[in-house]
Amino acid sequence: MNPTISFALLLTVLQVARGQKVTSLTACLVDQSLRLDCRHENSTTSPIQYEFSLTREKKKHVLYGTMGVPEHSYRSRTNFTSKYNIKVLYLSSFTTKDEGTYTCELRLSGQPPITSSKNVSVLRDKLVKCEGISLLAQNTSWLLLLLLSLPLLQAMDFISL
């Protein structure tokens, strides 16, 4: 095989493997809903396939995604949002019956053997509330804007420190 083609193929495989790596999976409680935040690298333009699942009593239950078929009992309870490098799943009416190991799995379209996943063990009485976490972790631009505008507000005598 031509060395140039081999090198190009190796770079493509490395980019594919790096382009969809799950960096973290966290769980928290919003009112009575479980929220799963699946953060991942996004250094590729290829579409990313994903799947959220729950393993309970050694049985895998697909909750939501593009790789597997979600179980009927979860379809009406899930809500999904996706941004550049985070996929968020909400599971409403979360109870102790929903406790178990949750998994976020990513795969690049057309590349079945290359997957990346993370697990998180979820117990209802051990979950933290999301409100304070999500505001600071998800969107810090308002905080930065406030800090940058303080000198201007102080100079215009709107506030005094």
Reported as a single tens digit per residue, the pLDDT across 87-145 is: 999 999 999 999 999 999 998 766 555 789 999 999 999 999 986 544 444 455 656 66
Q: What is the dihedral of CA 130, 142, 45, 63, to 10 degrees?
A: 20
Reported as a single tens digit per residue, the pLDDT across 20-34 is: 789 999 999 999 999
What's residue 59's pLDDT? 95
Nearest Cα neighbor of 13 from 86, 108, 84 is 108
Place of tokens 């409100």: 131
What's residue 17's pLDDT? 44
This prediction has a pTM of 0.70
What's residue 85's pLDDT? 87
> Long-range contacts for 73-82 (Cβ within 8 Å, ≥24 apart)?
78/52, 79/33, 82/50
Residue 85, beta-bridge partner list: none
Structural domains in the chain? 21-131 (2.60.40.10)
Segment 33-38 shows an average pLDDT of 96
What's residue 10's pLDDT? 36
pLDDT at 55 over 90: yes
Identify the band that residue 42 occupies on the pLDDT scale cut at 50, 70 and 90: confident
Identify the band that residue 18 occupies on the pLDDT scale cut at 50, 70 and 90: very low
What's residue 26's pLDDT? 95
